[in-house]
């Protein structure tokens, strides 16, 4: 028996939908040594990552062009076939959508629209929005972890629920609780990888969290400085979570979450690092 599965998974797959420019990470597993893994046509290229002859062989499939291709693995007795349907969404289409002129999908996903850190790859230098291996001066403490860098912003909309990255709740064991955006990874053992498939379902017009002007049942008591002395005042407001599914995190009670650089324009008050109860407020503004 032989089958093809996504790396890290044991369930066989027979069909897969992906996009031009993407690399799919797979493995072929058999009860006897795997002897060959090939693509049925030039629409995809198979790069075998281990020496054939083992019972579990990891390999990459680079998707070259629109159309269908079969990936066939054989152990000399049985064969397993994975059919790839490659969509016509490519780097040019994504670049036009997000307003970035890059054609290399690594740069397309990681390039910074504002701020960022200098990175170099393939003789080309550009500012990137994420802590990746190509950064010239890696940013501690989590070097090359794929997290967004400080105030940097990529060209893609990080508040779309589907994108090459995701929001991760971090540090809930401390008083400094926040969400951090980072790149996704389809490779077990890696912090991140570049994958155009992350744009499936992408919404470039997604709305980020914002402060709404409706009253809450339980207002907060604020202490403000009026220029002479501190004064207590009751302030009614609410936070909309926007289009990203931050509410998915509500299933597990947490301590609280920081509203980061939130501007309450109605009252002209700039609030930074203010902690709210997590069950009522769980979004991060920029």
Closest CA to 2 of 79, 105, 57: 79
Torsional sign, CA 132, 165, 244, 97: positive
What is the value of pTM for the model shown? Answer: 0.58
C-alpha distances (whole Å) from 182 to each of 24, 101, 273 are 20, 22, 20
Identify the weakest region by mean pLDDT among 47-51, 56-60, 246-250: 246-250
pLDDT at 260 over 60: no
What mean pLDDT is predicted for residues 239-244? 73
Closest CA to 283 of 248, 250, 258: 258
Q: Give pLDDT tens digits for 171-229.
A: 544 445 567 888 988 666 678 888 777 787 888 998 887 665 544 444 554 555 556 66
Distance CA(130)–CA(153), nearest Å, equals: 9
The reported pLDDT for the residue numbered 129 is 92
The reported pLDDT for the residue numbered 85 is 84
- Tokens 């799919």 -> residue: 24
Peptide bond connecting 234 to the previous residue in cis, omega within 30 degrees of 0:
no
DSSP class of residue 208 equals P
Burial class of residue 81 in the structure, from the number of CB atoms within 10 Å of its CB (0-12 exposed, 13-18 middle, 19+ buried): middle
| Domain range annotation of the chain | 2-87, 91-199, 210-277
The C-alpha angle with vertex 89 and arms to 199 and 48, in degrees rounded to 5, equals 85
- Tokens 């609030």 -> residue: 271
Distance CA(10)–CA(75), nearest Å, equals: 18
Architecture of 2-87 per CATH?
Answer: Sandwich (2.60)
DSSP class of residue 281 equals -
Q: Collapsing DSSP states into helix, strand and coil, what is residue 66?
A: coil
């Amino acid at each position: 028996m032989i089958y093809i599965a996504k790396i890290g998974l044991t369930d066989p797959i027979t069909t897969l939908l992906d996009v031009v420019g993407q690399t799919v990470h797979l493995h072929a597993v058999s009860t006897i040594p795997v002897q060959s893994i090939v693509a049925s046509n030039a629409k995809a290229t198979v790069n075998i990552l281990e020496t054939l002859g083992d019972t579990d062989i990891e390999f990459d499939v680079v998707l070259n062009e629109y159309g269908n291709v079969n990936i066939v693995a054989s152990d000399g007795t049985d064969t397993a076939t994975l059919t790839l349907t490659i969509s016509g969404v490519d780097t040019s289409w994504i670049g036009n959508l997000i307003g970035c002129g890059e054609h290399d999908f690594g740069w397309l996903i990681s390039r910074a629209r504002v701020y960022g850190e200098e990175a170099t790859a393939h003789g080309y230098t550009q500012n990137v929005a994420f802590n990746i291996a190509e950064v010239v001066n890696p940013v501690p403490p989590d070097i090359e972890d794929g997290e967004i860098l400080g105030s940097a912003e990529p060209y893609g909309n990080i508040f779309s629920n589907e994108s090459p990255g995701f929001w991760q709740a971090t540090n809930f064991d401390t008083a400094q609780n926040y969400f951090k955006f980072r790149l996704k990874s389809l490779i077990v053992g890696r912090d991140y990888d570049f994958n155009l498939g992350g744009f499936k379902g992408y919404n470039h017009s997604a709305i980020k969290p914002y402060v709404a002007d409706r009253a809450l049942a339980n207002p907060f008591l604020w202490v403000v400085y009026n220029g002479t002395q501190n004064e207590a005042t009751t302030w009614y407001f609410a936070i909309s979570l926007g289009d990203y599914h931050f509410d998915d995190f509500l299933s597990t009670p947490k301590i609280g979450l920081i509203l980061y650089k939130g501007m309450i324009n109605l009252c002209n008050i700039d609030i930074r690092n203010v902690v709210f109860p997590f069950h009522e407020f769980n979004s991060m503004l920029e």
